[in-house]
Structure 1
Amino acid sequence: MTTPIPAIEGKTTVNIGRDRAFELFTGHFGAWWPRQYHIGAAEVADVVLEPHHGGRWFERGVDGSECDWGRVLAWEPPERVVFTWQIGGDWRFDPDPAHASEIEVRFHADGPEQTTVEVEQRHFERLVGGEGVHGAIEHGGGGWVALLTAYAQMVERS
């Protein structure tokens, strides 16, 4: 039996309605995702989360190449989205869905023009090299707290 690795969480509040918060988070990943966080050979041109169950989560390089990161497990706008992180400790995509952590993002309406966005990344023990991935995400760049800060800054600019 594999020892569970703790989840990584993050939360932010943005001053837009829940529908728009969901749309900006899922439909504009490339506008807020830090460019240095990629695994493809080429520099990142965009990060895409396809808007349906079974959709791909991937990066598109400036040269047009694509590099998968995971798959959409649940697409429930504007309440939540769940997708996999299938990048192991070697920082390569693992096509085996049994080797995937999960990222769940929930959108809570705090009023007509305010939304709390909560992220939980869990099941790191499923990843090959999951402890290293967990450590890199949590300590290497601020984890989901830093990513949600970038998202909130993008929301402010839009």
Structure 2
Amino acid sequence: MFSQKMSDSLNRFKQETQKIIIQWFKSLKENNNKNDLEEEDDDDPILLIIEWNDAGLTNRNIQNTIITALQGFNGCSRIQNNRTSNVGINVTAPSDAMFSVADTNTSHKVQISEDIVSFLRETYFQRYRPSLGRVHEVRATKKDCFEIKEYRNVF
């Protein structure tokens, strides 16, 4: 599976985010019984990681309805994170910033991902104001290799 060494392509993310990305793609491979990780696989979903500045969005009177809006896209769902609670119990909770985008009967995951970014820009971006967020599109291409596309000026 993916080695413990973090892929260089993930260096732009915090250590905790890197671990979540690797664990998520590793579990996809295991659940889909994929044995050959060297082979490219277009069946895997895309992972969208959304970064935004909460205080900045609040100052602009933009409601944080991002999660609800994204869940309205067919093929898009929040991923589950394993977290340790303040009493030491391991719990699973949906992520507020990581979404899985999979193919549907009517659209390919790449088109859905592009539609999501376009929707976020049209809804939240304000021209001539500082950008308050961006979106990363992450795909596992081969063992320890991730293709990452960054969309800026989204919020």
TM range (shorter): under 0.3
TM-score where L is the length of structure 2: 0.28
| Structure index of larger Rg | 2
TM-score where L is the length of structure 1: 0.28
